[in-house]
Amino acid sequence: MTDYRAPVNDALFTLRQVGMLDELTKTQRFAHVDEETAASVLEEYGRFMQEVFGPTNAVGDRVGLQWSPEGVHVPDELTRAYAKFVEAGWQGLNAEEAYGGAGFPEAVFVLGAEFMISANGALSMCPGLTTGAIECLQEWGSEEQKEVYLRKLVTGEWTGTMNLTEPQAGSDVGLATTKAVPQDDGTYRISGTKIYISFGEHDMAENIVHLVLARTPDAPPGTKGISLFIVPKFLVDEDGSLGERNDVKCVSIEHKMGIHASPTCVLSYGDDGGAVGFLVGEEGQGMRAMFTMMNSARIAVGVQGVGLSEVAYQQAWQYAQDRRQGREIGGESKEPAPIVVHPDVRRMLLYMRSHVEAMRALAVYNAAALDLSRALDGEDGERWREIAELLTPVTKAWCTDVGCEVTSTAIQIYGGMGYIEESGVAQYFRDARIAPIYEGTNGIQAMDLVGRKLPMRMGGVVTDFIAEMRRVDARLEAAGDDFTTIRTNLAAALDALEEATGWIMTNGLADPKEALAGATAYLAMFGQATGGWLLARLALGAHEELAAGSDRTDFLESKVVSARFYADHYLPRVAGLLGSVRAGAGDLYALDVAGLASS
């Protein structure tokens, strides 16, 4: 297999064209991050990931994890790689400077996250979850909690988890029954079972800080009765040293389709009297605290689709040059040709390439919107908050759905060898398949988009965003003939998206089932159209750099080709989904449950 190479040039180009780095650096929050600094950081981060994390990927997939009653053993190669990650100080890249972080924008951070996921998707889960814990405690932790836990999480010396899911409470977190009983000393005793806890137990760090949703006595039912607690694996003494083991045990790990080096744990709290927990915020604020980090977490899962697609593309591109099958159509040689010359292989490679670029641009734009919402005050900050809210379910769901398709296409390019595990490319598909499921299934993201995000400001947010996408039309017209089909097909896609939006908002008001029945198709429309808009912006940026005399001719011209291919082949599909959106719920309920059975 070809070694992974971090696409630093693509990342920096995307950051410059759609990541709004110039706007970010004008704010007080991100004034210390200019383009040169961001470039140097991403170059070094990419080098680290390809040299340190990358070589451990196949080992982790092949060897997996060892569970025992004492804990979970991670392959030594991954433990050493993680230790180097901590030593290099990468965990705190986007954490607040006040607690030891570097304070970089999310728009830069997601590009680094892409490199890490490409290098080793399973191992990336550990720093990813720690990032979520950091964000939560930055916003909701007390000063004492920040000093005790946050600083160690920012360095990566301790890792973090999110404990939401229970056997009876998956997507419906309000069904959680884990108990938190208050004690006279201000602590709580936590008891219950949590499942699907990624990196809930491992031996790569000296302590694990669990963030656990639990219900206090007499708490109201549903999500209003849920509170959030810090439950460390080891209690911390007053001098900051680790004390006794807390009453939390990993009773098993799951045997999964992919991400074999990421321990997915069943954690049991309180088998010996109750785990010691510390309330974060106030009682009943658990879901509010979790939602503080939800946008970032869902964007991060979307980036998993980007990262795994990028590395799968790199492997498929190299294989297409090495594998010889058939003669070139119209060629003179009678010898077998590399399959990269065949039209359908070219189609698959351009599909992969253009969609990776579109997904990357969407994740970066969404992250930059989140950055600006935090860095700007008043109406400006509110406008970007709305955009970040609108796009987050699209980034999470569309990028992970497409990620599964792109990694599957890589297997197709390999042919029979792609179905053989020794080729290595199948791992990317197996690893990618979980991303549409966790952090809110993609069906739930679609429901969130049509049920919560479209009604924002009485539909004004989505209307304004579609209008913003239309504003690129004048630049496309001025750019000349190479941009004609991009302009035409993007305009048609936005027309279809606008029509679908109006239908959902009108019919959803009358009957929510009508809107929800077409929600997944609508989200696909939204993602495909937004991806086309962002690719158009990348292509225009490349066109302008070429006109200014840039010598990066091949690189910049490739951006125009990607956007044009996407516009020609995939933007027309946006209108094709309009019928699915408008079909309504009638057929979904035309059969009773028994009628759905096969006969």
CA distance 476 to 469: 12
CA distance 25 to 31: 4
User: Which uninterrupted H or E stretch holds 249?
Assistant: strand 248-253
Sign of CA dihedral 67, 135, 170, 111: negative
Neighbours of 250 (CB within 10 A): 22
The three-state DSSP-derived secondary structure of 92-143 is CCCCCHHHCCCCCCHHHHHHHHHHHHHHCHHHHHHHHHHHHHHHHHHHHCCH
> Half-sphere exposure of 3 toward its Cβ, with a 13 Å CA cutoff?
11
Pairing of strands 66-68, 188-198: unpaired
CA distance 276 to 181: 10
Measured at the alpha carbon of residue 295, what is the angle toward residues 312 and 189, in degrees to the nearest 5?
110
- The terminus-to-terminus CA distance of the chain in angstroms comes to 46
* Contact between 352 and 6 (Cβ < 8 Å): no
Q: Which residue has the tokens 């927990």?
A: 277
Catalytically annotated residues: 439
CA distance 268 to 274: 10
Q: At what angle do helices 8-18 and 106-119 cross, to 10 degrees?
A: 150
